[in-house]
Structure 1
């Protein structure tokens, strides 16, 4: 069943309303898989998938790069709900410290790029490291180059978030940011 995109915000709002009246704990409320699958690539799909689980979340993150002109539309630095609180704070501090100059993080850490062209997600392997923590080893191809990186994930409230990005041969993104904002 294909759900019209215009119905999705209503459906998600209705789910949230039902959750407020339910005896279920908030952590147990999730959008139906068919609603998540029906969303076109973009932020609404990512936000819905973040409620579904870590693998759905990661797949939705990379799905936006597969469409023409792919990539996430920019939000104010340090206020992007796909990132965890600490990583958002570091990104915001990096931007403020740059004060009109180019910040250290001047690329998209999800694709490790400034531009994506024909990015394809080759594989995702998610391992849980606890009830609210997971790691996703992601292999993708961008601009003809295959890359591997690990997204460290944390469930904050009801949603999964990226809390660090690990690229082989480089320090974790949080370590890099910490050095420049100190």
Structure 2
């Protein structure tokens, strides 16, 4: 399964029939392309799917994949492609949840904050706080996007989950690399 659950891809496809003035007035995808030169704007664009909205749409497996070019670094995109190649037809390969919200059900999710910390000339960490107000008690998650600027555009190079919760997870790249090695070993037997 190609990671194709990003909101921006859906919005970009919706723009195909719009005029330039309609795009500017109605589409958060325009905001992404015009303002994604900053890490903050890029990360916020991952959650913007409608005017004023900050939730990631649920993935509908009955609908064809919507590719979202440009959100993953070359390294991470290659790992995602490798997980897909190792997956069984009709089943999830590596991803069983949306990596952008670290969830399977984003209903009621709100992006509460984005804090960007430069980590190098072409690198930055963007820590997001997500909240599901409909959950009782209110559920809150924190994760950090390790970003890299490739070809003048910010991309996700890794995702580090909050390690203080009940189920700490390895960073995305580390976990995918381990999964690939384990899956190759299992298939070689």
Could you say whether these structures have the same fold, taking a TM-score greater than 0.5 normalized by the shorter chain as the test?
Answer: yes
Taking the TM superposition and a 5 Å limit, the aligned residue runs for 1:4-153 are 6-7=19-20, 40-42=27-29, 44-50=30-36, 52-64=37-49, 67=53, 70-71=56-57, 74-76=65-67, 80-100=69-89, 101-142=91-132, 144=135, 145-153=139-147
SS of the residue corresponding to residue 56 of structure 1 reads helix
Taking the TM superposition and a 5 Å limit, the aligned residue runs for 1:152-171 are 152-169=146-163, 170-171=169-170
TM-score normalised per structure 2 = 0.68
Number of aligned residue pairs: 148
Query: Could you list the runs of 5+ residues in structure 2 that have no partner in the other structure?
Result: 1-17, 60-64, 164-168, 182-189
SS of the residue corresponding to residue 70 of structure 2 reads coil
Does structure 2 retain, via aligned residues, the 8 Å contact 1:80–1:88? no
Q: Given the superposition, is the C-alpha separation of residues 124 and 71 from structure 1 closer, same or farther in structure 2, using an over 3 Å criterion?
A: same
Q: Given the superposition, is the C-alpha separation of residues 155 and 104 from structure 1 closer, same or farther in structure 2, using an over 3 Å criterion?
A: same
| RMSD between superposed Cα atoms in Å | 2.7
CA–CA distance in 2 between the matches of 1:115 and 1:40?
A: 24
Q: Given the superposition, is the C-alpha separation of residues 70 and 168 from structure 1 closer, same or farther in structure 2, using an over 3 Å criterion?
A: closer
CA–CA distance in 1 between the matches of 2:115 and 2:93?
A: 31
Q: Tell me by how many angstroms 1:69 deviates.
A: 7.7
CA–CA distance in 1 between the matches of 2:19 and 2:120?
A: 36
TM-score normalised per structure 1 = 0.70
Q: Given the superposition, is the C-alpha separation of residues 80 and 99 from structure 1 closer, same or farther in structure 2, using an over 3 Å criterion?
A: farther
